[in-house]
Amino acid sequence: MADAGETVTRVTSSHWGAFEVDVAGDRIVATRPFAADPAPPRIPDILPAAVHHRSRVARPAIRRGWLETRRRDGRGSDDFVDLPWDEALDIAAEEIDRVRREHGNAAIFGGSYGWGSAGRFHHAQSQVHRFLNSIGGYVASFGSYSTGCAQAIMPHVFGVDFLTLLYEHQDGWQTIHDHTETLVMFGGINPKNAQVSMGGITEHETAGWFDRFAAKGMRRINIGPQRGDAPEGCEWLPLRPGSDTALMLALAHVLETEGLADREFLDRCTSGYDRFRPYLTGATDGVPKDPDWAAPICGVAAATIRDLARRMAATRTLITVAWSLQRAEHGEQPYWMSAVLAAMLGQIGLPGGGVGYGYGAIGGVGKSLIGLRGMTLPQLRNPVDETIPVARIADMLRHPGQPYDFNGRRKVYPDIRLVYWAGGNPYHHHQDLNALHEAWQRPDTIIVNEPWWTATAKRADIVFPATTPYEREDVGRTNLDDYLFHMPRLIPPVGQARDDYAIFAGLAGRLDAGEIFTEGRSAEDWIAHLYAEYRELAAGAGIDVPDLEGLRAANWLRLPIRAEGPNRTFFAPFRDDPAACPLPTPSGQIEIFSEVIDGFGYDDCPGHPVWLPPSEWLGAATAAAPLHLVSPQPGDKLHSQLECALADMPGARPETLVINPADAGARGIGSGDLLRVFNARGACRARALVSDAILPGVVALPTGAWFGDPGGNLDPDGNPNVLTRDRGTSRLGQGCSAHTALVEVARLDGAG
């Protein structure tokens, strides 16, 4: 921290990278890029305004209706009563205790999904989970909004945990650079998204690699609804959202019928191709999945599909698939089918060939590092053995006791009485927010730790003001980055904010679990403890890092953990000798047909990949909702974080909606016009950007605007989740299907 009159500069780390921070007195006054970052993001520019913003939660606050009569209605409309910390903590602890005594710990939902705080000790989700475990457990959640569907389906196909596959077993950029001749990107690879990585990303390399790919003459083909989903200079094959599986099937059909499929690889390394082929050729249903069949479905000409298939077979081809494809109804299918297509090409296990997931989705994918783990706060054991798929929260709140299917299991939604959220913003991340808002009225009590008055905080009963990472000391180091940071406390807590750790220690102490939660350590003790463990781990890998005092003095250091040269992929030994190095699937091979999935009997995810039209896509467009809405990640921030400061900037809100000139013209819309975007689920404002970089029939509105008033009227700043559909991807994955939505757009002034 800085003394009055003096400006101090330190480096800190965040999900969007490292940056320099100037502190004068008790205020952050400016930020600057980190010198070693080749492509520093601009996200920190708004940090000073956001950290000191008027929308910070200043004091513990309790919703009046809940405080006075425990009324559940009024969430979102009641005012709040400020209370002293001790009183608020007493009330919250008493209520948590009541719920666990009367209903058991399985009535507490602590899934608490979200991207709060990059530091390793003050990681809000780890803190809330550890706290709830210390007091007897909670209902947890499986998977993420990012990749929940893939996490369910892909282990059936390759036998490995999806995140392990993604982070440890995919080719690095260097290997791709050296070997790949054709890069086929479903959903693109966007440096805009690679700005962030959970826990931190220091050197932003993605754009730089694409420059090198271009210089080498690699063909880079972006397949999807938006040209801007891949760096400039890539070819763009416009494709209707939700139709990738049809295109992949047609590519596979060409390989099969033109003798381009690698029979030898299919025989040796895969199982079930003979069960899949009759579907592909049409022997089972009379519909050959050929390019002529696929062309009207996906909007790609049949001749283009044939050329692409031949090119893919003739060159070293890497198929990449954005996470967005599985954030859609039947998202299991393009993921599974991309693996089948790669298997038919026979390049899985060859450097720069096969298939990879999530390049560009976050900056850490594609970095080749030796596997030196980061630091994590142990979360203790959860005595409650109950989880829901993370994106099924509204269903759970709405339908206690109701059975549902998930990945082969018949489960029952628990009866939740208390929700505790720390480090996430469900009124940002969940689909169909007007419906969530109804479900949100069901629990007796909702407790939220938040630095800002987000839509979620405003709809809670008890709000504890949390510090931001700049108000506390931490250490930063994740598995996906090669830097180590001391994250200094830069300013004192804003208002009466406390660290999540202090809030939970206060609650745990009142619930006779103080010692279990804290293990007798202060926050500083914990940081020293976690760091000492990490130091030992690093030493075991032959890497010397300074002690904590030394790290404090250094502020940051680069770790010598780059894996140089081409990396042998996880699949290479399997490819060389599948009998000796089988995959951990039931057959030991890549499963093109899965007996296990077939045994589930799901019509929305049968035993091999199939084309299943989504319930909302351009093939099902209606007069009332003729446009497909995609809602990508925002380029200027991380989700809904720092939005309060962005929204203050003149002209910044409502959010920008990208629309094709043909669709804009038909509606009398010009760039800059204020719009109403609507469907049967809700409506929001947006500002038009007319552009031919988006496919006709598709509009794009990024996520991240704070949700305004519930009730389906007109969300003022443009949160696309008032429009999106809240349905599981299928009974198998039950992931979030945000990208499956039809809408209509009109000028707000009614003209046009």
Interacting residues toward Mo ion by CB under 5 A: 146
Take residue 169 and report the two structure tokens written for it. Answer: 């077993």
Catalytic residue among 16, 66, 85, 113: 113
Q: Taking the complex as a whole, how short is the minimal distance between the CB of residue 478 and Mo ion, in angstroms?
A: 15
Handedness of CA 138, 144, 150, 151 (dihedral sign): negative
Residue 362 interface partner, choices Mo ion, ligand MGD, none, CB cut-off 5-8 Å depending on type: ligand MGD
**What's the CA gap between 665 and 257, in Å, rounded?**
43
Q: At closest approach, how far in Å is the CB of 694 from ligand MGD?
A: 8
Binding site for ligand MGD (CB under 6 A): 114-117, 122, 124, 145-146, 186-188, 192-193, 195-196, 223-226, 229, 239, 241-242, 244, 322-325, 327-328, 361-362, 422-425, 428-429, 449-452, 454, 466, 468, 500, 630-635, 638-641, 700, 703, 720-721, 724, 738-739
SS3 content of the chain, % helix, strand, coil (to 5): 35, 20, 45
Q: Any long-range contacts for 26-30 (C-beta under 8 Å, 24+ apart)?
A: 26/1, 26/2, 26/491, 26/492, 27/52, 27/491, 28/52, 28/470, 28/490, 28/491
CB of 751 to ligand MGD, least distance (A): 28
For helices 244-257 and 302-314, the axis angle rounded to 10 degrees is: 60
Look at residue 165 and give the partner it binds from Mo ion, ligand MGD, none, a contact being a CB closer than 5 to 8 Å depending on partner kind: none
CA dist 664 → 456, 497, 697, 722 (Å): 34, 46, 10, 22
Nearer to Mo ion, 394 or 502 (CB): 394
Report what 635 binds from Mo ion, ligand MGD, none; CB cut-off 5-8 Å by kind.
ligand MGD
Least CB distance from residue 663 to ligand MGD, whole Å? 15
Beta-carbon count within 10 A of 129 CB: 23
To Mo ion, the closest distance from the beta carbon of 323 in angstroms equals 7
State which residue, 146 or 431, has the beta carbon closest to Mo ion: 146
Nearest Cα neighbor of 442 from 414, 468, 407, 466 is: 414
Cβ pair 707, 593 in contact under 8 A: no
| Residue number with CB closer to ligand MGD (124 or 348) | 124
Distance CA 583, CA 154 (A): 12
Q: Which is nearer to Mo ion, 113 or 470 (CB)?
A: 113
Which C-beta is closer to ligand MGD: that of 41 or that of 291?
41
User: Residue 436, CB half-sphere, CA atoms under 13 Å: how many?
Assistant: 27
- Choose from ligand MGD, Mo ion, none: what does 425 bind? Cβ within 5-8 Å by kind: ligand MGD
- Which listed option, ligand MGD, Mo ion, none, makes contact with residue 141 (CB within 5 to 8 Å by class)? none
Of 137 and 187, which has the nearer Cβ to ligand MGD?
A: 187
Least CB distance to ligand MGD at residue 578 (A):
31
What does the angle CA 234 – CA 236 – CA 241 come to, to the nearest 5 degrees? 135
Q: How many Cβ atoms sit within 10 Å of the Cβ of residue 649?
A: 11
Considering the complex, state which of residue 415 and residue 604 has its C-beta at the smaller distance from ligand MGD.
604
The partner in contact with residue 206, picked from Mo ion, ligand MGD, none with C-beta cut-offs of 5 to 8 angstroms by kind, is none
For the CB of residue 333, give the shortest distance to ligand MGD in the complex, in Å. 11
Q: How far apart are CA 472 and CA 604, in angstroms?
A: 48
The closest of 11, 3, 45 to 27, measured between CA atoms, is 3
**Spatial separation of the C-alpha atoms in residues 229 and 727, rounded to whole Å:** 25
CA distance 457 to 521: 29
Backbone dihedral angles phi then psi of residue 498, each to the nearest 5 degrees: -125, 160
Q: Which is nearer to Mo ion, 146 or 271 (by Cβ)?
A: 146
Nearer Cβ to Mo ion (592/738): 738
**What is the nearest approach in angstroms of ligand MGD to the Cβ of residue 584?**
26
Nearer to ligand MGD, 585 or 721 (CB): 721
CB of 115 to Mo ion, least distance (A): 7
C-alpha 294/C-alpha 306 separation (Å) is 11
Shortest spacing between CB 147 and ligand MGD, in angstroms: 7
Identity of the residue, 239 or 592, whose beta carbon is nearer to ligand MGD in the bound complex? 239
In degrees and rounded to multiples of 5, residue 421 shows phi and psi of: -120, 130
Which residue is catalytic, options 16, 115, 452, 483?
Answer: 115
Active site residue 113: yes
> Which one of Mo ion, ligand MGD, none interacts with residue 639, CB within 5 to 8 A by kind?
ligand MGD
Closest CA to 73 of 446, 454, 448: 446
Q: In the annotation, is 293 catalytic?
A: no
650 CB-near residues (< 8 Å, 6+ apart): none
- Residue 378 C-alpha from the chain's centroid: 23
Contact 325, 244 (CB under 8 A): yes
Report, in Å, the least distance between residue 173 CB and ligand MGD: 16
Q: Which CB sits closer to ligand MGD, 578 or 609?
A: 609
Q: Which residues contact 659 (CB under 8 A, 6 or more apart)?
A: 627, 669, 688, 689, 690, 691, 694, 699, 745
Q: Tell me the closest approach of the beta carbon of residue 549 to ligand MGD, in angstroms.
A: 25
For residue 383, the 8-state DSSP code is S
Residue 559 to residue 363: CA distance in whole angstroms: 17
Angle of helix 124-134 versus helix 500-510 axis, rounded to 10: 10
Helix segments in 586-642, DSSP class H: 595-600
Give residues with Cβ within 8 angstroms of 100, minimum separation 6: 107, 108, 135, 136
Q: Which of 604, 611, 625, 643 is nearest to 731 (CA)?
A: 604
Give the nearer residue to ligand MGD in terms of CB position, either 182 or 449: 449
Q: Please tell me what DSSP assigns to residue 392.
A: G
Burial of 539 (0-12, 13-18, 19+ CB in 10 A): exposed
Residues near 219 by beta carbon (within 8 Å), at least 6 away in sequence: 181, 182, 183, 235, 311, 315
Q: Which residues are catalytic?
A: 113, 115
